[in-house]
Amino acid sequence: MSTKSVFKLCIFLISSTLVSCSTFQPSKENITKEYVPDNTDLYKEIVAMDAEFFNAYNRCDMKRQEEIYSDSIEFFHDQGGLMTSKKDILEATEKNICGKVTRHLVSGSIEVYTIKGFGAIEFGKHTFKNNEESADTPSQIGKFVIFWAKIDANWKITKVVSLH
């Protein structure tokens, strides 16, 4: 084998090795960290408030929902747009949700982060089951963000972002 052929073979082997090594390295976009709450007590409080609010939502307890919503609520819905009237949100819930839809939290999906001087922000996933459909009809998973403010020792929902 000539020196020129050996040189080409070495270049080929080195290039192949470099390409194969770079191909098997995971990209940073695919790496995700598993969520661990920074503040376990806050996490438990917000998870409990989420359960309390949506228990009232599923039971159509309009009084309790009204107590939990802030008077300055902002509700962003990807399909319905923005609502800023607490009264209108409650009326729409009573008219369109009560007895018709049930919300189910996707287990383990809640993440809670402290917002200094304000309260907390909650991220999660949930489904809404149309009660008029058969039990085996699949529900699409939606994402949500809820801003919780601590006002006079009570948790209030100030903003909701609902994405389906």
Q: Give me the residue label for tokens 């949500």.
A: 144
Domains of the chain: 40-163 (3.10.450.50)
Q: Which helix (H) or strand (E) holds 40?
A: helix 40-59
The reported pTM is 0.79
C-alpha distances in Å from residue 88, one per residue of 32, 78, 102, 160? 39, 17, 20, 14
Quick one: what percent of the chain has pLDDT higher than 70?
A: 80
- 115-139: pLDDT as tens digits: 999 999 999 999 999 999 998 898 9
Q: Please tell me which residue, 143 or 3, carries the higher pLDDT value.
A: 143
Range with the lowest mean pLDDT among 19-28, 49-58, 90-99, 116-125?
A: 19-28
